[in-house]
Amino acid sequence: MHWTEAQYHLYLARQSLARQQHPRAPAPPAPDDLPEAKLLRQVRALAQRQGFAVYHTLDSRGSDEGFPDLVMTNGRRVIFAELKSRTGKLTAQQAVWLALLKHTNSVEAYCWRTGEWPAILACLEPRPASLYRDPSAEQGQKSRLA
């Protein structure tokens, strides 16, 4: 479904009016359960501090469904990450994207949840250069063997 800018603003106005007329008290989040938007801000900030360039589509309307929330690279690694709250569920399209990306063995692909902050920190911490593959060196080695 594609909306014009006017239709989108009308939708937002109706949603705001509906919330005012029928307010719901949100359940308090569990200590390890941040909203996805806050997790996104934290992961982006951490990745940038660790030297990654970070991309996030701000408005995914009109984009293909399921593409991961973040794409990050530091020139040696490419990481795709889908971010979810503790109870958030991957859509079928998101699961397909992550599975296909992992299958390439060329990039890293993760689904990170709010309670997994230690794993996120570990993944984004700097790694020694010796841990990286150098495709150009491998190509040169293959050509010498041929």
The more confidently predicted of residues 32 and 100 is 100
- Neighbouring C-beta atoms of residue 49, cutoff 10 Å: 9
**What is the arrangement of strands in the sheet containing 53-55, beginning at the earlier edge strand?**
53-55, 70-73, 78-84, 108-113
How confident is the model at residue 21, as a pLDDT? 67
Phi-psi region of 112 (alpha: psi -120 to 50; beta: other; left: phi over 0): beta
Domain boundaries, the chain: 31-126
Average of pLDDT values for 99-111?
96
Above pLDDT 70, what percent of the chain?
73
Say yes or no: domain 31-126 is CATH 3.40.1350.10.
yes
**Per-residue pLDDT band at 31 (split at 50, 70, 90):** very low
Q: Which pTM does this prediction carry?
A: 0.67
